[in-house]
Structure 1
Amino acid sequence: MFRNTTRSEPGKRIPTAEDRAEPLFVQSVERAMAVLSAFHHADGPLTLTEITTHAGLDRSATQRMVHTLRALNYIRRDAGGHGFVPGVRILDHTLDYLRLHPLVRQATPVLQELRTSVRERVDLSLVDDTRMIYAVRLQTKRQTFNASLLGHSVPAFCTSGGWAMLSRLPEADARDIIERSDRRPFTPHTLTDPDEIMQAVGETRRNGYALALNQLLSGEIALGFPVLDNHGRPVAAIHIAGSLSEWTPGDYVARFAPLGQQTARALSKY
């Protein structure tokens, strides 16, 4: 069965027993974040019962957290009265993250120049374990709503940016990420076998860019380029995505791979 959404499973940092044993660890903050994280799985407003289930808390604790977060405008009542949705103050923290992230600040004007040159969709995604999270998205007119949202995430195992990131990791680390991923396919062509994915990663390593066809979306062609930190570790990836109805893979690579590689080198810290 294919997935009905391109979103990757949202990341979740589970505190260890040692974390919780620390005197500085505040469990009420953990519970509040669990309530906010319940909306990662939502397709619409959530009832108090649904928040309780997703957050893994008892109903009394959930009710107190929801009341407090509503008072702070991090949660609000749905306009239709069907439940709760995130409040507008969540966006303040998204802005803080993006404006204070040095790579995002540096990359934005560079990617705008790349977008002008290629006239196709250009993205910057950040590495988060088994997934890539979009931090900059420069769209074409044909993109869908979800494809334009910052914070949208996609799996590393079947995306050009993910393969680009994996290609710059030690082979054992790359395979570990692949094997821990939820490898349910998105299209009939999505690679799900770890050995086949590792072959794609190896080809990416040899070429210096990733070429993904029909992996996340049917009819999509995407190139991915790794962005490295000053230790040579991948921290992000640049994507250039287009349509197979307009491009052959050979022409797409010839036209855009040099530009993408040049941009990725400009943003990397060797």
Structure 2
Amino acid sequence: MTHTPLRTEPGLRRLSDDQREDPLFIQSIDRALQVLSAFHGTDRALTLSEIARRANIDRSAAQRVVHTLRTLGYMRRDAADRGFLPGVRLLDHALDFLRLDPLVQQATPVLLELRRNAQERVDLSLFDGQRVVYAARMQSKRETFYATLVGHSVPTYCSSGGWAILAALPEAEARALVEASDRRSFTAHTLTATDTIMERVAETRQQGFSCAQEQILVGEIAIGAAVMGADGRPVGAVHLAGSLGEWEAEAFTRRFAPLVVEAARAISRY
């Protein structure tokens, strides 16, 4: 399987004018987070000018924000002094999220058992609109460094977990989400037409799980099942992925789909 090192769906939020003009909204915090978000999708250190451009702020404002974040330990110079990188203190916040999130806490023992039984890669993703974000990753023997990283995200419209989540949404809402996505191709097999994607979503809804082949990675097959919240809406998904070089699609689905569905149900809060 071929892996990409870049996050596929940056976690950027587009705010309305009303949201930005809210008297409780703090513009300086917004700018600081825009600066940190400048690193989404890059694979190297960024210069001050690049940070300013990516954060959509002027260079003077970027300089002040970067200086403040460096002082606080949230940014650093790279070893060759060619630019800036995120700082180690950001990991404190990632840890806080993972250890305090009830869903991750409840899912971890279930995922460990699934990984032990399947001996294939197991992931928990969280639903975030047009993307799903990996909050737990339990690897197989084949995985590369980038495939082990929590926080990596993939599009909802073309991932096994994404299809499972879409299948758990009302039809109109799911279609609107797909139509709002950019629907670019990652492989020659990525589904990009809305109607074709919705056919897969309908199939997923009928059988209770999704099966995606080579949608994001060449040679990968993945099964997904939605994790439901107490309000009856999907909050994430369990994924189990293998290699088409080792498995026929039918055999993979027959062997692992029941396990994935059982794990997702065990984590869900009906």
Task: Specify the TM-score bucket, using the shorter chain as the normaliser.
Answer: over 0.9
Q: Measure, in 2, the Cα distance between the counterparts of 1:44 and 1:211.
A: 34
**Matched residue, 2:110:** 110
Is the partner of 1:150 in helix, strand or coil?
A: coil
Is the partner of 2:38 in helix, strand or coil?
A: helix
TM-score for the superposition, normalised by structure 1: 0.96
Q: CA RMSD in A?
A: 1.3
Matched, 1:26 2:26: yes
Is the partner of 1:105 in helix, strand or coil?
A: helix
Write out aligned runs for 1:214-233 (5 A): 214-233=214-233
- Measure how far apart 1:25 and its partner are: 1.4
**What one-letter code is carried by the residue in structure 1 that aligns with 2:186?**
F
**Matched residue, 2:237:** 237
Is the partner of 2:14 in helix, strand or coil?
A: coil
1:129/1:177 contact within 8 Å kept: yes
- Measure how far apart 1:120 and its partner are: 0.4
**Matched residue, 2:43:** 43
Q: Measure, in 1, the Cα distance between the counterparts of 2:221 and 2:173.
A: 26
Is the partner of 1:245 in helix, strand or coil?
A: coil
Q: Measure, in 1, the Cα distance between the counterparts of 2:22 and 2:197.
A: 40
Matched, 1:200 2:200: yes
Write out aligned runs for 1:153-168 (5 A): 153-168=153-168
Q: Measure, in 2, the Cα distance between the counterparts of 1:15 and 1:180.
A: 16
How many residues matched?
268
2:167/2:205 contact within 8 Å kept: yes
Write out aligned runs for 1:45-194 (5 A): 45-194=45-194
1:6/1:186 contact within 8 Å kept: no
Matched, 1:257 2:238: no
TM-score for the superposition, normalised by structure 2: 0.96
Q: Measure, in 1, the Cα distance between the counterparts of 2:167 and 2:146.
A: 27
- Measure how far apart 1:23 and its partner are: 2.0
Q: Measure, in 2, the Cα distance between the counterparts of 1:132 and 1:151.
A: 9
- Measure how far apart 1:231 and its partner are: 1.7
The CA deviation string for residues 95-129 of structure 1, in whole angstroms up to 9 with x for no partner, is 01111110001101110011000010000000000
**What one-letter code is carried by the residue in structure 1 that aligns with 2:255?**
R
Is the partner of 1:134 in helix, strand or coil?
A: strand
Of all paired residues, the percent bearing the same amino acid is 58
Structure 1 residues 211 and 6, CA gap change in structure 2 (3 angstroms): farther
Is the partner of 2:191 in helix, strand or coil?
A: coil
The CA deviation string for residues 212-257 of structure 1, in whole angstroms up to 9 with x for no partner, is 0111111111000000011210001000100111111111111111
2:164/2:226 contact within 8 Å kept: yes
Gaps of 5+ in 1: none
Q: Measure, in 2, the Cα distance between the counterparts of 1:199 and 1:84.
A: 45
Which has the higher mean CA deviation after the structures are superposed, 50-59 or 19-28? 19-28
Which has the higher mean CA deviation after the structures are superposed, 129-138 or 15-24? 15-24
Is the partner of 1:173 in helix, strand or coil?
A: helix
Q: Measure, in 2, the Cα distance between the counterparts of 1:172 and 1:4.
A: 32
- Measure how far apart 1:154 and its partner are: 0.3
Is the partner of 1:39 in helix, strand or coil?
A: coil
